[in-house]
Amino acid sequence: MLLDDYYPVAVFALIAILFPALAFWASRFFRPTRFQPQKKMTYECGEQPIGHGQIQFHVQFYIYAIIFVIFDIVTVFLMIWALVLADLSDSARWYMVIFLVLLVIGVTYALKKEKILWI
């Protein structure tokens, strides 16, 4: 019967709902309730915080981070492509060639803008 197929899913869903609820209840029941002023302090590597917590970063650091994430994603795509290269169709290979061409165009553009001189 069709409902018999969903029985394990229902059991798993029930466990998935009950386990976090039980964990939250247990943490509320067993935690200490005494207030201590040290718990309200900002923790910064064991040292007392000095100065303002908000500072400005140069845009260049954000550009480095974005380009790092882009190259990280490209690496994931290239790993998958390299693992299944023998089984790919011709259209999939052409799509990857187009992807690599766009990647090279992007790197060339970034180098011409001189935003990533460390490459």
State how far the Cα of 82 lies from the Cα of 19, in Å rounded to an integer. 40
Q: Do the domain assignments include residue 26?
A: yes
Looking at residue 44, its pLDDT comes to 61
Q: Do the domain assignments include residue 51?
A: no
Q: Do the domain assignments include residue 53?
A: no
- Is residue 97 pLDDT above 60, yes or no? yes
- Is residue 43 pLDDT above 70, yes or no? no
Q: Are both 32 and 63 inside the same structural domain?
A: no
Q: Are both 67 and 34 inside the same structural domain?
A: no
Q: Residue 112: is it exposed, middle or buried by C-beta count within 10 angstroms (0-12/13-18/19+)? A: exposed
Q: Are both 36 and 63 inside the same structural domain?
A: no
What's the predicted TM-score (pTM) here? 0.41
Of 61, 60, 41, 57, the residue nearest 49 (C-alpha): 41
**Residue 71 is part of which domain span?**
59-112
What is the number of domains present in the chain? 2
CA torsion 73-76-82-85 (nearest 10°) is -80
